[in-house]
Chain A
């Protein structure tokens, strides 16, 4: 309380001004620059790689691959920010991706269930896993970090078990066609799926009461509770919908590779977190937001792709994603501090 008291004072005539170092026009421009900094850095990165490897990097193939083949990560990260926005963690979301896609594969390949029904069931399974996470967290009152860490391990075990640890091939070609083969403007359909989901989330977060309640709960659970928000319901819903996003990411993964794989999906967990946290440093600064997240996904894959073309080994992915996660969290904390320092005062 004393901290906020000391932040602001008021003059005798009651006029209050925001302290700023430059004129308000410059200030607005700075504000915009802050919001889109990641896009600017992205453009710079592309320029650098383009300059170094003009014939391999600056090609249609490279770009259509970068945009078209990374929707699994983008959709997973979008699911993740739903839980992050209510102030929770879901470390089981990548394992959820694996299990859901395997359920689809088993139904479609082994039991000859139609593709559409298999996909619907996969999404329902993903949602059920998310709901189960929420139940553990709410009923047993366990921190979501620990609960989903455990669930992640349980799920990846189940993933190995139901397929006997092998990949399933022979998925319906229709899936592969609609995910990766068919293209619009030279980019596979899956890119547009991610884009649509991004826009839907953006709309929900910004223009619906439910979206606002997600943020209310994430910003301060007790304030939300005393404002009449049904906090448990919101947390439950967030985990459930995030689980469904995990399943959709799983479907897109299977469509891209034409298989299911009991372990390959797990590697998406850390990049998804890196994208979510990096995304929170731009667009809506300080809040996990869909546009920032998807921008961050493509920024990160550009970096990985570019470094690969420079001949750096595969290990660079791990280093790059890990460093991005740490730096983006550090950066967003720095931003939060400097923002709160910009206080109202008299001049």
Chain B
């Protein structure tokens, strides 16, 4: 018989920030507990503490009456087994299912001859338990998305039970918990259903499940118990049966949902005679996005957002022709373009600029100077392509350094010598110097300091007011509330709601965005 696990008094701080403040929770055998909270509430820190990645400042665990400090990793592992399935599943693409299962075994065992047939038999028996009827010799990249999720799940339980298999200990004697970290985010509704029924089976065999999710519908229909974290504190620990979505939201956000709901759909924007950019039937090749249709106009900043895995982050890349397999059409002033035929050079010709999400791998050549980076797109000071004037290049770079208040001695400074915020400013400048009429942004303030955040917000608003059409894809709802007059919310690849600024306000409110993301309220989008 498995025992109840009680974690108590977990505190952890990083520098001056208290990530967890005396948090506790109970995991009963056969029960699904949901762990929810806004970004930065401490969810992932708690998961990492439980998994043993972090040693907390304090905290204890009680397994069936036996106590142990959480900082004693070895002691804890003797009492209680934990196995995690992360959002990215942690499977190795090029290896077979069997090899993925045995990774842990191989990293520690020193047997001289691997008995493949024996092992494949036990693995395929295991997979059947999880509804997967695929030969364990198949490679991971030959499996569908949902099959991979199931395989990852099966492997996690396999790891939980590995000690039991290898020793003669009675199987029922082990207390195990399965942690699912946003596992369903990338799956469709049908796939989620299948996954859930499998998880129910796992629970029925006596394990406890800790389930991390943003999706309130899913939590209410699936979890038995709910723990809500806010600012590192546990603000609720109760049964999922007697709680409504609005109550749950109030617990997460710390304020009532009522005033947010009513305003979300107000004042559909009057579309003026400005240049409109119309996107029709946009979809990505892997099915993670679309088909969706929407439009935006010059002078407007439109935010697009959603929960992790909802597909919104693909939109800027597909509209720039940088996402192979995307389809749909894009209509701008100069005509209609098929997105499946669009390439980045064409997009630039059409006046579309992209500021990608990752400074170091997508946006900037980090071991080149500021000025050199700007030459890639600069139209403002176009020099003769057969005789580049370096004086002009450096001078233009220095102008940008000044204009964007980049903290660097001059434009000879290399990007890797800049802080994140300053590099981000250079990347914004690189996009804008192409003199675009449409600016596509992806996470424009990820990992930047407060000063750069507000500077970048100012730049965006300033350019929009001079006629630029801006599409800003971001999971940073606070930032969207600083720039966007309209926000499109995505879920499972579709636009599920369209939020407008309230009467008398310039931007969409942050809480409205958070609410819409977590509740997926559907609004007819024209």
Interface size class of B (residues with CB under 8 A): 35 or more
Task: Report the separation of the CA atoms of residues A344 and B418 in the bound assembly, to the nearest whole angstrom.
Answer: 7
Instruction: Please tell me if B68 contacts chain A, counting CB pairs below 8 Å.
Output: no
Is A340 within 8 A of B361, CB to CB? Answer: no
Is B447 within 8 A of A5, CB to CB? Answer: yes
Instruction: Please tell me if B243 contacts chain A, counting CB pairs below 8 Å.
Output: no
A1 contacts which of B344, B356, B359 (Cβ < 8 Å)? B359
Task: Given A10-B419, A207-B387, A225-B344, check contact A219 B377 (CB 8 Å).
Answer: no
Instruction: Please tell me if B367 contacts chain A, counting CB pairs below 8 Å.
Output: yes
Instruction: Please tell me if B174 contacts chain A, counting CB pairs below 8 Å.
Output: no
Instruction: Please tell me if B480 contacts chain A, counting CB pairs below 8 Å.
Output: no
Is B320 within 8 A of A226, CB to CB? Answer: yes
Instruction: Please tell me if B363 contacts chain A, counting CB pairs below 8 Å.
Output: yes
> Which residues from A are CB-within-8-Å of B356?
226
Instruction: Please tell me if A308 contacts chain B, counting CB pairs below 8 Å.
Output: no
Is A216 within 8 A of B407, CB to CB? Answer: no
Task: Report the separation of the CA atoms of residues A228 and B385 in the bound assembly, to the nearest whole angstrom.
Answer: 16
Q: Which of A2, A216, A226 has the most CB of B within 10 A?
A: A226
Is B360 within 8 A of A344, CB to CB? Answer: no
Task: Given A226-B322, A226-B344, check contact A4 B407 (CB 8 Å).
Answer: no
Is B409 within 8 A of A216, CB to CB? Answer: no
Is B387 within 8 A of A343, CB to CB? Answer: no
> Which residues from A are CB-within-8-Å of B413?
344
Task: Report the separation of the CA atoms of residues A222 and B365 in the bound assembly, to the nearest whole angstrom.
Answer: 10
- Contact flags (1/0) for B358-400 with A, using CB distance below 8 Å? 1111111111100010011100000001111000000000000
Is A219 within 8 A of B447, CB to CB? Answer: no
- Contact flags (1/0) for A103-122 with B, using CB distance below 8 Å? 00000000000000000000
Task: Report the separation of the CA atoms of residues A340 and B388 in the bound assembly, to the nearest whole angstrom.
Answer: 27
> Which residues from A are CB-within-8-Å of B361?
220, 222-223
Residue of B nearest to A228 (CB): B348
> Which residues from A are CB-within-8-Å of B122?
none
Instruction: Please tell me if B248 contacts chain A, counting CB pairs below 8 Å.
Output: no
Within 8 A of B (CB), among A130-146: none
| Distance between A19 CB and nearest chain B CB, rounded to angstroms | 10
Task: Given A208-B385, A286-B367, check contact A226 B354 (CB 8 Å).
Answer: yes
Is B420 within 8 A of A208, CB to CB? Answer: no
- Contact flags (1/0) for A221-242 with B, using CB distance below 8 Å? 0111111111000000000000
- Contact flags (1/0) for A195-233 with B, using CB distance below 8 Å? 000000000001111101001100110111111111000
Is B322 within 8 A of A8, CB to CB? Answer: no
Is A344 within 8 A of B417, CB to CB? Answer: yes
> Which residues from A are CB-within-8-Å of B422?
8, 10
Is A228 within 8 A of B363, CB to CB? Answer: no
| Distance between B362 CB and nearest chain A CB, rounded to angstroms | 5
Task: Given A225-B344, A229-B376, A230-B345, check contact A216 B367 (CB 8 Å).
Answer: no
B377 contacts which of A5, A7, A227 (Cβ < 8 Å)? A227
Is B416 within 8 A of A5, CB to CB? Answer: no
Task: Given A209-B388, A219-B367, A226-B320, check contact A1 B407 (CB 8 Å).
Answer: no
A4 contacts which of B347, B360, B388, B405 (Cβ < 8 Å)? B360
> Which residues from A are CB-within-8-Å of B386?
207-209
Number of interface residues of A (CB under 8 A): 37
Instruction: Please tell me if A16 contacts chain B, counting CB pairs below 8 Å.
Output: yes
Residue of A nearest to B372 (CB): A212
> Which residues from B are CB-within-8-Å of A10?
407, 419, 422
Task: Report the separation of the CA atoms of residues A56 and B430 in the bound assembly, to the nearest whole angstrom.
Answer: 58
> Which residues from B are CB-within-8-Å of A1?
358-360, 420, 447
Residue of B nearest to A340 (CB): B416
> Which residues from A are CB-within-8-Å of B359?
1, 4
Instruction: Please tell me if B408 contacts chain A, counting CB pairs below 8 Å.
Output: yes
Instruction: Please tell me if A164 contacts chain B, counting CB pairs below 8 Å.
Output: no
Within 8 A of A (CB), among B478-522: none
B416 contacts which of A4, A216, A226 (Cβ < 8 Å)? A4
> Which residues from A are CB-within-8-Å of B363?
223, 226
Instruction: Please tell me if B423 contacts chain A, counting CB pairs below 8 Å.
Output: yes
Task: Given A8-B418, A286-B367, check contact A14 B407 (CB 8 Å).
Answer: yes
Residue of B nearest to A11 (CB): B407
Is B417 within 8 A of A343, CB to CB? Answer: yes
Task: Given A5-B447, A212-B388, A344-B407, check contact A226 B420 (CB 8 Å).
Answer: no
Instruction: Please tell me if A310 contacts chain B, counting CB pairs below 8 Å.
Output: no
Within 8 A of A (CB), among B257-297: none
Residue of B nearest to A6 (CB): B419
Is A207 within 8 A of B388, CB to CB? Answer: yes
| Distance between B401 CB and nearest chain A CB, rounded to angstroms | 10
Is B419 within 8 A of A7, CB to CB? Answer: yes
Task: Report the separation of the CA atoms of residues A227 and B321 in the bound assembly, to the nearest whole angstrom.
Answer: 11
Task: Report the separation of the CA atoms of residues A340 and B418 in the bound assembly, to the nearest whole angstrom.
Answer: 11
Residue of A nearest to B368 (CB): A219
Task: Report the separation of the CA atoms of residues A210 and B388 in the bound assembly, to the nearest whole angstrom.
Answer: 10
> Which residues from A are CB-within-8-Å of B347?
228
| Distance between A107 CB and nearest chain B CB, rounded to angstroms | 34
Task: Report the separation of the CA atoms of residues A227 and B345 in the bound assembly, to the nearest whole angstrom.
Answer: 8
Within 8 A of A (CB), among B294-343: 320, 322, 343
Residue of B nearest to A208 (CB): B386
Is A208 within 8 A of B388, CB to CB? Answer: yes
Is B419 within 8 A of A5, CB to CB? Answer: yes
Is B447 within 8 A of A228, CB to CB? Answer: no
Task: Given A1-B420, A4-B423, A7-B417, check contact A17 B385 (CB 8 Å).
Answer: no
Instruction: Please tell me if A60 contacts chain B, counting CB pairs below 8 Å.
Output: no
Not counting A7-B418, A212-B372, A212-B375, a sample of 12 additional A-B residue pairs whose C-beta atoms are within 8 angstroms of each other reads A1-B447, A4-B359, A5-B420, A7-B419, A9-B419, A16-B409, A208-B387, A220-B366, A225-B322, A226-B320, A226-B354, A228-B377
Interface residue ranges, A against B (CB under 8 Å) = 1-2, 4-5, 7-10, 14, 16-18, 206-210, 212, 215-216, 219-220, 222-230, 286, 336, 340, 342-344
For this complex, 20 residue pairs linking A to B, each with C-beta atoms less than 8 Å apart, are A1-B359, A1-B420, A1-B447, A4-B366, A5-B419, A5-B447, A8-B419, A16-B409, A207-B386, A209-B386, A210-B385, A212-B388, A219-B368, A223-B364, A225-B322, A226-B363, A228-B347, A230-B343, A336-B367, A340-B417
